[in-house]
Amino acid sequence: EAEGFRRITFYPDRPVVLAVYTVNIIAVKASCPLLLSNGNFLGGAGYGEGKHFAAWFDPHPKPSYLFALVAGDLGVVEDTFTTMSGREVTLKIYVEHGKEPRAAYAMDALKRSMKWDEEVFGCEYDLDIFMIVAVSDFNMGAMENKGLNVFNDKYVLADPETATDQDYANIEAIIAHEYFHNWTGNRVTCRDWFQLCLKEGLTVYRDHEFSADQRSRAVKRIAEVRHLKSEQFPEDAGPLAHPVRPTTYREINNFYTTTVYEKGSEVTRMIATILGRDGFKKGMDLYFERHDGDAATIEDFVKCFEDANGADLGQFSLWYSQAGTPLVSVSSSYDLARGEFTLSLEQMIPPTPGKATKEPMHIPLRFGLLLADGSEATPGAVSGAEVTGDVLHLKQRRQTVTFSGIASRPVVSLNRSFSAPINLHFEPAPADLAQIARHDSDLFARWQALNDLALPNLVEAARKARAGEPVETNAVLADTLIAIAGDEALEPAFRAQALALPSESDIARELGSNNDPDAIRAGREAVLAFVAKRDPAAFARLFDANRTEGAFTPDAASAGQRALRNAALAYLAVSDGTPARAAQAFASADNMTDLSAALTVLAHRFPDAPETAAALEAFRARFADNALVIDKWFSIQSTIPGDGALARVKALMTSPLFNKANPNRVRALVGTFAFSNPTGFNRADGAGYRFLAEQILEIDPKNPQLAARILTSMRSWRALEEVRSDHARNALRTIAAGEKLSSDVSDIVERMLKG
């Protein structure tokens, strides 16, 4: 996908061209004993002269981008699944020989995905066999080819010794995502590539809902929003901004963006919020009924929800055509005599490349009104806006909403569950945020309140660090964090998320412009140290109490305990000031989650300590033959902060374990350095940018997709302070002047320089 089929044979490879495929494969049997393609297996036999053939037939019309062919020698894991109509489907996962035992969790995730899709969306699998092929050299994560999914083995292989809890969660989500495409993408595909979010945004929403049902819905939602804010919000605010449904593109490979996928998912989620669970289900049922076997458009999709519910989503559809993250500014007042609470809301959609002015959007805001005792106020009446249940519909540029029958001043909890992908400008008092953080019935809102409590503190800390002034931390923040972390009524996974301060990129986004990454880190470190030293005994209790006993299991509860324990370890490393505890945790770890967490604390907190050197060498020696684990070894070191990072990365590139031909390895070292090491990459002397320019020009002739994707790490270069932004501009100009640039890279670099 998108245009690979034209490299196989002559064909009009637009997605609207649907056909039934019969495939006959002939190959030398000794080197290619396995011959696979889409659909059902018709049969095979010898073909003379050491060759053999296999025939496959896919009865379902499909576009050419869903064609797949695999020939080679692979191991296999087999199982079966009985569909809701009683058909038995053969399931096969093919992996490189010797890796078969590590595919068991992927098989389990596949079976759970198939059952969930039947139960929640009524979608039954439609072939006699479903296959996954996982290989170690793959540019993307995975691909939903009909009945024959092709995967990067990073998202298939797992066992306790080599995979973290996050790896297990990623495998579960991506197995589900590609399987769910069987209906949202394959059975109903896109008329043209401008409709890409029709299949990707919708299917991301479906895999998010699946993971939420398999694990903790609140914790999953927090993780989704963290990812959205760190990856998609910067894209929406920079030179690469584009609508969820773009109107132009130069290079189709650069079309697969976080805006299309993640913001596209959020737009689908808002439809579900506006119409409710039953209304959304009715719309999806009509969508499948009308468009099965069809190549559809966004308009087709939206009309199904309108027709099924008698709704008007005309204004809402602006979410598909207007780029930029809406900013909603909020103020409130309370009239005790009248018993009225008033919210004044104003929305603004910032200018983006190609469009300076925007129309007001339909923004659905989940809300609650908290009283002092932690209960929620129920208004007698609401005027000034449409309110359905707990959703306030902001549709005008400015609206004033009055809630009557409120006996005492409430604290408003707004945009619960992140019901709309917006920036919210609202400055409640720290005491109000602390009340939401401790008492809100919506766990996401509690986490968001902690973030809102922390961010002003961190922004001010960054400003003071830059000015050379002492940093002060609000004790309310530290005390609230510690209280929530110790609240055993809350699940450990949520408490671990609560302890994670907003990241350096979050702070940079809040500052907006003229950013100094060194000052941002210094300020954040000062706040983190204050929290860590406020009550070290509390963190020690969390660390000791959340040790998991017995054999490793990747279930959500156990993963939550490990997450909380390792969050406590990170704080203890700061309060201890020595590597001893982390070194002991590394030595005693019996699973990859704890092992890699301890190694990260050692490397990032004590990079020059002998304990760190010993741990890094022990990790390398133990896992040298496991490519996916060694990727972790490279990533942990490439994200060690500070000016020494670049020299470390260059040294690691000379390691015999570094393979520049393997996309995963390049992403693990070069990509992770550029995306996830703000101080190491954004050096004041520009050396990090010059290094990246060299790497992009070297990678591009061999793997333009990979080069272009890594280059997007510089998407926010204009938000840097002047010295760094000048260096970044020069590095981008160096790339732009490169000879024989691919269309992938030239498209990205030209938009970055122009935007």
- Phi, psi angles (nearest 5°) of residue 94: -100, 130
Report, as an integer, the average pLDDT of 529-539. Answer: 98
The count of other CB atoms within 10 Å of the CB of residue 647 is 11
In DSSP terms, 340 is beta-bridged to: 335
Tokens standing for residue 733: 């100009």
From residue 526, how far is each of 270, 465, 683, 702 by CA, in Å?
Answer: 38, 9, 20, 43
Task: Identify the band that residue 427 occupies on the pLDDT scale cut at 50, 70 and 90.
Answer: confident
pLDDT value of position 504: 98
Q: Residue 178 catalytic? A: yes
Lowest average pLDDT, out of 75-84, 113-122, 296-305, 470-479, goes to 470-479
Could you write out the DSSP letters of every residue in 470-481? PP---HHHHHHH
Task: Identify the band that residue 458 occupies on the pLDDT scale cut at 50, 70 and 90.
Answer: very high
Decide: 546 and 561 in contact? Cβ < 8 Å.
yes
More confident residue, 120 or 476: 120
Report, as an integer, the average pLDDT of 18-28. Answer: 98
pLDDT value of position 35: 99
The count of other CB atoms within 10 Å of the CB of residue 289 is 10
Which residues 6+ apart lie within 8 Å of 65 measured at CB? 1, 2, 3, 4, 5, 13, 15
Task: Identify the band that residue 241 occupies on the pLDDT scale cut at 50, 70 and 90.
Answer: very high
CA 167, CA 402: separation in Å to the nearest integer?
47
pLDDT value of position 367: 98
Which residues 6+ apart lie within 8 Å of 608 measured at CB? none
**Among 444, 420, 445, which Cα is nearest to 364's?**
420
Residue 755 scores a pLDDT above 80: no
From residue 279, how far is each of 433, 438, 533, 681, 685 by CA, in Å?
Answer: 33, 33, 50, 47, 56
Task: Identify the band that residue 622 occupies on the pLDDT scale cut at 50, 70 and 90.
Answer: very high
CA 613, CA 606: separation in Å to the nearest integer?
10
**Among 579, 576, 582, which Cα is nearest to 595's?**
582
Residue 450 scores a pLDDT above 90: yes
pLDDT value of position 94: 99
**Among 500, 418, 490, 495, which Cα is nearest to 458's?**
500
Task: Identify the band that residue 474 occupies on the pLDDT scale cut at 50, 70 and 90.
Answer: confident
Task: Identify the band that residue 570 occupies on the pLDDT scale cut at 50, 70 and 90.
Answer: very high
Catalytic position from the list 1, 144, 172, 178: 178
Residue 743 scores a pLDDT above 80: yes
DSSP helix/strand/coil, 288: helix
Residue with tokens 């732009």: 736
pLDDT value of position 135: 95
pLDDT above 90 covers what percent of the chain? Answer: 98
Task: Identify the band that residue 374 occupies on the pLDDT scale cut at 50, 70 and 90.
Answer: confident
Q: Give all domains of the chain, ordered by start, each with its CATH number.
A: 4-183 (3.30.2010.30), 190-321 (1.10.390.10), 327-426 (2.60.40.1840), 624-755 (1.25.50.10)
pLDDT above 70 covers what percent of the chain? Answer: 100
Could you write out the DSSP letters of every residue in 305-345? HHHHHT---TTTTHHHH--S--EEEEEEEEETTTTEEEEEE
Report, as an integer, the average pLDDT of 122-136. Answer: 98
In DSSP terms, 400 is beta-bridged to: 344
Report, as an integer, the average pLDDT of 588-614. Answer: 99
Which residues 6+ apart lie within 8 Å of 10 measured at CB? none
**Among 602, 621, 620, which Cα is nearest to 611's?**
602
The count of other CB atoms within 10 Å of the CB of residue 588 is 11
Report, as an integer, the average pLDDT of 62-88. Answer: 98
Report, as an integer, the average pLDDT of 350-362. Answer: 95
Residue with tokens 């109903």: 188
DSSP 86: S
Tokens standing for residue 103: 């595919």
**Among 551, 581, 553, 559, which Cα is nearest to 494's?**
559
Mean pLDDT of the residues in the chain? 97
